[in-house]
Chains A and B, each alone.
Chain A
Amino acid sequence: MIAELGLAALWLAAALALLQLATGVLALRSGTSDTGAILSALVRPVAILQGLLVSFAFLMLMWLFARTDLSVALVAANSHSDKPMIFKLAGTWGNHEGSMLLWITVMALAGGLIGLAERRLPEPTLLATLSAQAFVGLGFYAFLLFSSNPFARLAQPAAEGMGLNPLLQDIGLALHPPTLYFGYVGLSVAFSFAVGALVTRQVGPDFARAMRPWVLGAWIFLTLGITAGSYWAYYELGWGGWWFWDPVENASLMPWLAATALLHSVSVLASRDALRAWTIMLSVVAFSMSMLGTFLVRSGILTSVHAFAVDPERGTFILALLALYVGGALLLFALRVQTVTEGERFAVTSREGALVVNNVLLSAILGIVLLGTLYPILTEALGFRVSVGPPYFNPVGAIFVMPMLAVMAVGPLLRWRRDRLERIQKPAVFLIVMVIPAIILSLMVGYSGILPLLGVGLAAGLAVGSFLPLRGRNLLRVPLNVWGMVISHFGIAVALFGMSSEAAWSVEKLAALNAGDQTQVGPWTVDLTDVRPRAGPNWTAIEGTMLARYGEQDPIKVAPQSRTFWSPVQQTTESALLTRWNGQLYAVMGSQGDDDRWQVRLWWKPFVTFIWYGGILIGLGGLLALIGRLQGDWKRRHTERRIAERAAAA
């Protein structure tokens, strides 16, 4: 009964999306006539109701998972009655159908929120935006209802569920996918705003202000999603790598790059009414990158790590949606291109100028990642295979990243509209002076490659440069969004330093040890004191006990394991991490060699944690900016209301 209720709610929500689209379009067409007024009054409530209904459907699915209703195909395939409750619930979105339902749920809720709260946009643009949102949503409803019904029943209820894979019962795994989905959905909302503004030819600051919180929100989620994913790969894989330019990793990076560019251009549009066409284009690109990422992962078109459990039919559906949305938006843009004027002018040497340079460079980086990721598909279609990996992405990307970081350090010092380079001469020279000792210092530690060296130098310059916008200001009066910018930019410097340090100064040690043997890795002395078997609820493990000493300090115990799960049979390495302020010791227990000694893999990675601290700072800066912007909007609206009240009273 629950499944049927859920399915009914899903169908109803789809019908409401259709209604939302129809009333929206008709209201736009009939303009200010009486029918137009009635129709347009309908759109907002319909959007809210749609959000509520599809949330209801999602809750029903969660309930099915909570009860482990094995007559539902999805539950039987992905859950198990013995799972802890938290993982039963997380199982709701830990599969294709459920995750698509989550996507459409968040999307419809976002539409409802716009319907409820958005008051800045002119009514026609809002109607067009909600119509565009309904149009995008309808594609996903069709996908769910016609090809991926999460509520489908089995003819015969299963005796037990199949999803008890212990590897998948991880709190990170439970939270990770929704994080990214929130990011994708935010970008889809930005896309709807752009389409709405194009339809009514209202591409201006109001549109940008309405769109900005959604872009910011999406960007925060994407940032945190990538950061968490990278840390996870690092500690789970057991080889100490944190980024390998795998197609899947790239698929998550591309929307982030586009969102970063969009975030900056939408700010220019909001505060300076410039970069109109560019902002529209970036909104379209950002959304296409989320769709592309979803497509690449679900279709299994690329040789990546998820070559199993992919489905060409679903891939085709997503591809069709991608073509429809992006192609449609681009065509609309082509038709409207004359009406989207450039907006306000500005000089080369200005804040806008710097932002344009950075936007163009970010887009170029996006282009390179896109090219490198898709190129193997192209050659495979032509009958030969190539691999594109770090030796391509790192240097080629660096050509664009380095000037971008340099502009990023000085850009915020420039004034809007028009400025003189002489004015920022002193701070610029100061920054360059900061770079030189950093490079000399890192040369003294040890040279290993030009890229890490430049990375350390740029990180030092950017770290200082990110705080320069605060100089000479009363810190208590600096708006939150400026703090946000400062902290995000500082986060980039921190992460860059971590990456460069990891690349330059990591020390690896593969040792074959008997219990009682000692080995060295970097500043650490590690004793393997004991190796013994351990048993868990569904695994056995070989656990090595090690005493690790940093220099002359007290030894610390670490105990990495090599685990073997028996149902299904799987081997995992449970690496042990020892975190200090200046880096991590990474220990992995390997197998026993021919001579009965144990293979132990050790890494000392100086400042590697800065990569993820940086990621968190970037996200935190985004959050501050979001709060600042929402506060600003609220204050502005409040003031406007007060003025109106006073005018009425007078």
Chain B
Amino acid sequence: MKRLVIIIALLGLAGFVALAAVKMQQPRDDFVRSAMIGQPLPAFALPAASSEGEELTQADFRDGTPRLLNVWASWCVPCIAEAPQLSELQRQGADIVGVAINDTPENIAKFLADYGDPYSAVASDRMSQLQLKIGSSGVPETFVIDGDGVIRYQHLGDIMERDVPVLMAELRKAGL
């Protein structure tokens, strides 16, 4: 009995040390990925960020054109950092739809004027409804949506220069 307990304790220790050693080799990843990859965009309807724009719904993503869905906000500092990369993506032929989270029309307009407007459409998500529906866990995030309106890929955090070709490749995979 006693020996059995000691052996179990030793096995537990060995197991823990092995586990911890494996875990420490893995790179840290603090991002929480969406569980919605591979699923169609849920139904939603968001007003445009400016008075002349049109309402954005899931149907807008089902016209055969793969798109980038960029979740951002004017109050988010990394969003400023990724603005040049979004412009670059647009220059390379990406159709980018922006969704501004918890934002006001004035601040959105000011942000687009200051840092460039790479978007084909900008919708306003005051209550973070779309953000929660697609499993986005923060701003900024960028989703690749294929021509059938299915979520194909999620990029978490700001887009850096090295991420531009990755996102273009994902867009091409989605049928661009």
**Direct contact between A and B judged by beta carbons closer than 8 A:** yes
Stretch in contact with the other chain, from B4-12, B83-91, B151-159, B168-176: B4-12
Q: 26 A-B Cβ contacts within 8 A?
A: A281-B5, A281-B6, A281-B9, A284-B9, A285-B9, A300-B28, A301-B20, A301-B24, A303-B30, A307-B28, A307-B30, A312-B24, A315-B20, A322-B17, A323-B13, A326-B13, A333-B6, A334-B3, A334-B6, A334-B10, A337-B3, A377-B19, A377-B23, A380-B23, A381-B19, A381-B26
Closest chain-B Cβ to A607's Cβ sits at a distance in Å of 37
Instruction: Check if B16 sits within 8 Å of A374, measured CB to CB.
Output: yes
Across the interface, which residues of A come within 8 angstroms of B9, CB to CB? 281, 284-285, 330
Residue from A303, A316, A327 within 8 A of B10 (CB atoms): A327
**Given A277-B2, A334-B3, A374-B16 in contact, is the A301-B10 Cβ separation under 8 Å?**
no
Residue from A288, A301, A330, A331 within 8 A of B23 (CB atoms): A301
- A140 close to chain B: CB less than 8 A: no
Number of interface residues of A (CB under 8 A): 31
**Considering only CB atoms, which chain A residue lies closest to B33 in the complex?**
A385
- A454 close to chain B: CB less than 8 A: no
- B22 close to chain A: CB less than 8 A: yes
Across the interface, which residues of B come within 8 angstroms of A385, CB to CB? 32
- A299 close to chain B: CB less than 8 A: yes
Instruction: Check if B6 sits within 8 Å of A330, measured CB to CB.
Output: yes
B-contact bits for A282-293, CB 8 A (1 contact / 0 none): 001100100000
**A485–B47 Cα gap in the complex (Å)?**
67
Instruction: Check if A331 sits within 8 Å of B10, measured CB to CB.
Output: yes
- A93 close to chain B: CB less than 8 A: no
Across the interface, which residues of A come within 8 angstroms of B7, CB to CB? 334
Instruction: Check if B22 sits within 8 Å of A381, measured CB to CB.
Output: yes
Measured CB to CB, the residues of A under 8 A from B are 277, 281, 284-285, 288, 295, 299-301, 303, 307, 312, 315-316, 319, 322-323, 326-327, 330-331, 333-334, 337, 340, 374, 377-378, 380-381, 385
**Given A330-B6, A334-B10 in contact, is the A319-B19 Cβ separation under 8 Å?**
no
Inter-chain CB contacts under 8 Å: number: 60
**A565–B7 Cα gap in the complex (Å)?**
54
Closest chain-B Cβ to A283's Cβ sits at a distance in Å of 13
Closest chain-B Cβ to A569's Cβ sits at a distance in Å of 11
Further contacts, 10 of them, CB under 8 A, given A315-B24, A330-B10:
A281-B6, A281-B9, A299-B20, A301-B24, A333-B6, A334-B3, A334-B6, A377-B20, A380-B23, A381-B19
Closest chain-B Cβ to A643's Cβ sits at a distance in Å of 38
Closest chain-B Cβ to A200's Cβ sits at a distance in Å of 19
Instruction: Check if B17 sits within 8 Å of A323, measured CB to CB.
Output: yes
Main secondary structure, interface of B, reads helix
**A295–B24 Cα gap in the complex (Å)?**
11
- B21 close to chain A: CB less than 8 A: yes
**A617–B7 Cα gap in the complex (Å)?**
38
Across the interface, which residues of A come within 8 angstroms of B5, CB to CB? 281
**Considering only CB atoms, which chain A residue lies closest to B24 in the complex?**
A312
Across the interface, which residues of B come within 8 angstroms of A285, CB to CB? 9
Instruction: Check if A330 sits within 8 Å of B24, measured CB to CB.
Output: no
**A330–B24 Cα gap in the complex (Å)?**
25
Across chains A and B, which 6 residue pairs bring their CB atoms closest together, nearest first? A323-B17, A334-B6, A330-B10, A381-B23, A337-B2, A381-B22
**A322–B2 Cα gap in the complex (Å)?**
22
Max chain A Cβ within 10 angstroms of own Cβ: one of B22, B24, B32: B24
**A331–B14 Cα gap in the complex (Å)?**
12
**Given A330-B9, A331-B10, A337-B6 in contact, is the A319-B17 Cβ separation under 8 Å?**
yes
Across the interface, which residues of A come within 8 angstroms of B20, CB to CB? 295, 299, 301, 315, 319, 377
Closest chain-B Cβ to A593's Cβ sits at a distance in Å of 13
Across the interface, which residues of B come within 8 angstroms of A331, CB to CB? 10
Closest chain-A Cβ to B157's Cβ sits at a distance in Å of 15
Instruction: Check if A330 sits within 8 Å of B28, measured CB to CB.
Output: no
Closest chain-A Cβ to B6's Cβ sits at a distance in Å of 5
Residue from A315, A316, A340, A378 within 8 A of B19 (CB atoms): A378
Instruction: Check if B24 sits within 8 Å of A299, measured CB to CB.
Output: yes
Across the interface, which residues of B come within 8 angstroms of A315, CB to CB? 20, 24
Across the interface, which residues of A come within 8 angstroms of B17, CB to CB? 319, 322-323
Across the interface, which residues of A come within 8 angstroms of B28, CB to CB? 300, 307
**Given A277-B2, A330-B13, A334-B7 in contact, is the A319-B30 Cβ separation under 8 Å?**
no
**Considering only CB atoms, which chain B residue lies closest to A326 in the complex?**
B13
Across the interface, which residues of A come within 8 angstroms of B10, CB to CB? 327, 330-331, 334
**A307–B16 Cα gap in the complex (Å)?**
20
Across the interface, which residues of B come within 8 angstroms of A316, CB to CB? 21, 24
Instruction: Check if B2 sits within 8 Å of A319, measured CB to CB.
Output: no
Across the interface, which residues of A come within 8 angstroms of B13, CB to CB? 288, 323, 326-327, 330
**A311–B172 Cα gap in the complex (Å)?**
39
Closest chain-B Cβ to A258's Cβ sits at a distance in Å of 13
**A326–B15 Cα gap in the complex (Å)?**
13
**Considering only CB atoms, which chain A residue lies closest to B104 in the complex?**
A594
Across the interface, which residues of A come within 8 angstroms of B26, CB to CB? 380-381
Across the interface, which residues of B come within 8 angstroms of A322, CB to CB? 17
**A569–B9 Cα gap in the complex (Å)?**
47
Closest chain-B Cβ to A443's Cβ sits at a distance in Å of 38
**Considering only CB atoms, which chain B residue lies closest to A330 in the complex?**
B10
**A281–B6 Cα gap in the complex (Å)?**
8
Across the interface, which residues of A come within 8 angstroms of B3, CB to CB? 334, 337
**Considering only CB atoms, which chain B residue lies closest to A340 in the complex?**
B2
Closest chain-B Cβ to A511's Cβ sits at a distance in Å of 21
Across the interface, which residues of A come within 8 angstroms of B22, CB to CB? 381
**A374–B18 Cα gap in the complex (Å)?**
13
**A378–B5 Cα gap in the complex (Å)?**
22
**A285–B16 Cα gap in the complex (Å)?**
14
